[in-house]
Amino acid sequence: MATVKYNFVVADLRHRIGNAVFSKWKDTNFVREYTYHSPGNTPKQLAVRSSFSFVVSVWKSLSGSMRASWNKASSGLNMTGFNLFMKQNSRHILRSEVMELTRENGESPVLAMTAAPGTSGSIACTFTLAPESVEKHLILAAQKLENGKPVGAIRIVDVGTNATSPYSITGLEPGVQYAVYAMMADNGCLLSTTISASISATAVAGA
């Protein structure tokens, strides 16, 4: 890499021209030869890029309070909430594990939850709520799995306050496996400002 001095005609120059790349760092101008970097297409590299793209799509579908929970979790770390969400969930996807939708942000979590096949196209969720969560909104979500790996869009259901166990999520694909997530929030998902960490279970929708 060589240094560059500009004259009065060219005061500054950045980026690439032909095979030369111009840059500036700490008031010093540099030029280097452009080098092409192949993105790589090995099975592992393709899997990493696929998982990354999928997790980005899930992030975009989350509500404001869900994203805010990750922003809080990343406070003090050298990353944003988005970065933390991507780091954790890309790893889960590559390992064919269920995702983490939210982190703790002002609400007590659902204490326990199990999921089982219900009637055709439904999953019955049995849960236990913390005493302080009775007047809060129970938020459930379902996500399709293939070989244990999340592949589908997140479907969110606001059960509301004073939720009674069990509760069935309907309208799912019969005979298909799903991850089911449960969270507590101070309001309906789109209106909430505080939310608990998500817990999850898996089940096959009734055939």
Amino acid type, 159: V
% of residues, the chain, pLDDT over 70: 82
Give, for 117, the enclosing helix (H) or strand (E). Answer: strand 112-117
**φ/ψ bin of 71: left (φ > 0), alpha (ψ from -120 to 50), beta (otherwise):** alpha
**Residues 91-99, mean pLDDT to the nearest whole number:** 93
CA neighbor of 150 nearest in space, from 184, 191, 100: 100
Domains observed in the chain: 2-33 (no CATH), 43-204 (2.60.40.10)
pLDDT at 9 over 70: no
pLDDT digits (tens, 9 = 90+) for 144-191: 999 889 998 999 999 999 999 999 999 999 999 999 999 999 999 889
CA neighbor of 138 nearest in space, from 104, 99, 178, 187: 187
Cβ proximity of 85 and 73 under 8 Å: no
